[in-house]
Structure 1
């Protein structure tokens, strides 16, 4: 499965400046997703991180991986409109996180997320971000799917 930005925006509630996935290259239901984020000097975070040496914040690389995981989860249920409109997907844990090298303007992040354990409410993933086939970050993600009540998220 290949998704363009319009299709991604139908699955994710994120919008500028926090939408961090530009395209899905491949999605294998129940297994994995591969997506990309094109890193441009026009990203708003480069104004402050750092003006003299622009580097993508590591937390945003992790957020991009988590968004790919959310697309994976919502993509497997995308036929259910009520599900999409009444559900939120939260990043609730990260472990074993390592950053290998800086991500700078002009880089293209390849986001690879592999299902480790899929549950009805909590799922775990092994994830890594690559630039030019070199790992720049890797982490284990835990995400929770929660129903929304009256447009508010229920407690964890």
Structure 2
């Protein structure tokens, strides 16, 4: 997992007599459930930019990828990450995070994971205390069905080359 926080925001808050804590964004990367990682430059930069633009702490979750680890492994990893966050002794989390102000965020397949982790978290609210999920931020989430859509059927044998 990676943790991102704006240095400017930390400096501003440490000199403030109020010393308010920051909301938490738990981020799940995209990649079709089979590709990529939290340490990819695009996700690292995106999380850093978010933490520098919006006053939040971002925790980026590394989850098991298919096909070696089929769903619901990624969902289970997401819930496990929430438990890790609530129990963590990491200074970045303990000193700077308002655990009662948490958002789950994901892009593409990560949006799907954020959604399903949110559903599972709703069933174990007491176990996650003091962590409280306030909302979901789903960036172009991927949701598929059991039956292929007309366009999926039409294009399923089309091979593209880069």
The TM-score normalised by the length of structure 2 is 0.28
The TM-score normalised by the length of structure 1 is 0.29
Which protein has the larger Cα radius of gyration, Structure 1 or Structure 2?
Answer: 2
Task: From the two aligned structures, give the one with the greater helix fraction.
Answer: 2
* Higher RCO structure, 1 or 2 (CA under 8 Å, sep 6+): 2
